[in-house]
Amino acid sequence: MRLIINLPAFNEEEKIGETIKRIPRKIEGIDEIFVQVVDDGSKDNTAKVAKDAGADFVYSHKTNRGPGVVFRTAVEHALENGADILAYIDADGQFNPQDIPTIINPILNGEADMISADRFGEHKAKNMPAAKYYLNRLAAWMIGLFMNYPIKDLTCGFRGYSRETLLRLNLPGAFTYTQEVIIDALGKDLKIKWIPVEVTYFEGRKSRVVRSIYKYVNNSAKIILKAVRDVRPMKFFGVPGLFLIVISVLVFGYFATLYFQEFKITQYRNYLILGITLFLIGLQLLVFAFIADMIKSNRKLTEDQMYLIKKEKYKK
């Protein structure tokens, strides 16, 4: 049983060495442990410090490409290096590497395909910005409601993945990956479990992803909408479509009640126009729902083929 612990890093020379040294090298149920670092175009000595601290594999992007691309690079190399389990933890030391055994344990026991740390459970995140806290909680609640699955933490980067999960995930995004992974995994009926952990946000530290709250929310919203659209197309288009059609029927009913009292259309034509407009928009959304569902079926066939190709490519 081989565990690969991946640390994504961008200009982390001050923290990454200490984080690597704190990573446990013996875990019950694991035969081999390797530390893998993906350096996302750092301009400092991140890669060198990582190697000196004991990282087994260090891969560097020539330019900064974003967390989404870093995650895909990490997954590809973890599979190439024969990972049975991939643990993904930030390089800055905000998470405690000693929690890695707790994160991967449900995968070892066959209880889950993927594990995410939960920053909002019994251990409250220390010094977490209020805006980040409430935005995360709101997004997790909304996506959990839509996906019909209780999501405790949507954006935490401290996670564990089984080999099967790594082979099945398909993520096109570059800006981030955390939301997409959850939605994609749920769409593939993979079992996800959340484990409460302690996390400390260092005062004065600038986020590598959240440079601007507005840009982060805007980019994340686009990613989430695209992911949900692809995973639950009938729900994404169909529910609003049916809702508008029902409203249009009620408007038509109200129009009919007024019309049959005086048999005049002119003074009530706005209700008629509103009813027709809502009905046509709702009907169009239903058509989109069926088209998107057909695309989803084709996408599933393609992803099944990709899964078989990757399974053969990364055969142990």
pLDDT of residue 265: 82
pLDDT digits (tens, 9 = 90+) for 126-178: 777 777 788 888 888 888 888 888 999 988 889 999 999 999 998 766 567 88
pLDDT of residue 214: 67
Question: Which of the residue ranges 12-16, 124-128, 255-259, 279-283 would you say has the lowest mean pLDDT?
Answer: 124-128
Question: Which of the residue ranges 6-10, 135-139, 186-190, 252-256 would you say has the lowest mean pLDDT?
Answer: 135-139
pLDDT of residue 211: 54
Candidates 3.40.50.2300, 3.40.50.300, 3.40.50.2000, 3.90.550.10; correct CATH number of 2-231?
Answer: 3.90.550.10
Q: For the chain, give every domain's residue range.
A: 2-231, 233-313
pLDDT of residue 299: 87
Quickly state the pLDDT bin for 316 (edges 50, 70, 90): confident
Strands lying side by side in the sheet with 32-40: 57-61, 32-40, 2-9, 85-88, 159-162, 114-118, 192-196
pLDDT digits (tens, 9 = 90+) for 217-274: 777 777 778 878 888 899 999 999 999 999 999 999 999 988 888 787 878 889 999 9
* Measured CA angle at 112 (ends 108, 114), to 5 deg: 95
- Mean pLDDT (the chain) is 88
Q: Among 155, 73, 68, 149, which Cα is nearest to 112's?
A: 149
> What single-letter amino acid sits at 23?
I
pLDDT of residue 193: 95
- The label of the residue with tokens 């129009």 reads 255
pLDDT of residue 43: 93
CB atoms < 10 A from the CB of 267, how many? Answer: 10
Question: Which of the residue ranges 92-101, 108-117, 167-176, 225-234 would you say has the lowest mean pLDDT?
Answer: 167-176
Work out whether strand 159-162 and strand 114-118 pair parallel, antiparallel, or are unpaired: antiparallel
Separation of alpha carbons 260 and 96, rounded Å? 72
Q: Is the pLDDT of residue 89 over 80?
A: yes
Work out whether strand 2-9 and strand 57-61 pair parallel, antiparallel, or are unpaired: unpaired
Share above pLDDT 70 across residues of the chain, in percent, rounded to a whole number: 93
Separation of alpha carbons 14 and 53, rounded Å? 12
Work out whether strand 2-9 and strand 114-118 pair parallel, antiparallel, or are unpaired: unpaired
The greatest distance separating any two alpha carbons of the chain, rounded to the nearest whole angstrom, comes to 88
pLDDT of residue 131: 75
Quickly state the pLDDT bin for 78 (edges 50, 70, 90): very high
pTM of the model: 0.82
Q: Among 223, 29, 180, which Cα is nearest to 111's?
A: 29
Q: Among 129, 137, 123, 136, which Cα is nearest to 198's?
A: 123
pLDDT digits (tens, 9 = 90+) for 282-296: 999 999 999 999 999
Quickly state the pLDDT bin for 209 (edges 50, 70, 90): low
- The label of the residue with tokens 């995973």 reads 231
Q: Which residues contact 130 (CB under 8 A, 6 or more apart)?
A: none
Work out whether strand 192-196 and strand 159-162 pair parallel, antiparallel, or are unpaired: unpaired
Q: Among 215, 194, 188, 192, which Cα is nearest to 66's?
A: 215
Q: Which residues contact 35 (CB under 8 A, 6 or more apart)?
A: 4, 5, 7, 20, 23, 54, 55, 56, 57
Quickly state the pLDDT bin for 27 (edges 50, 70, 90): very high
Q: Is the pLDDT of residue 45 over 90?
A: yes
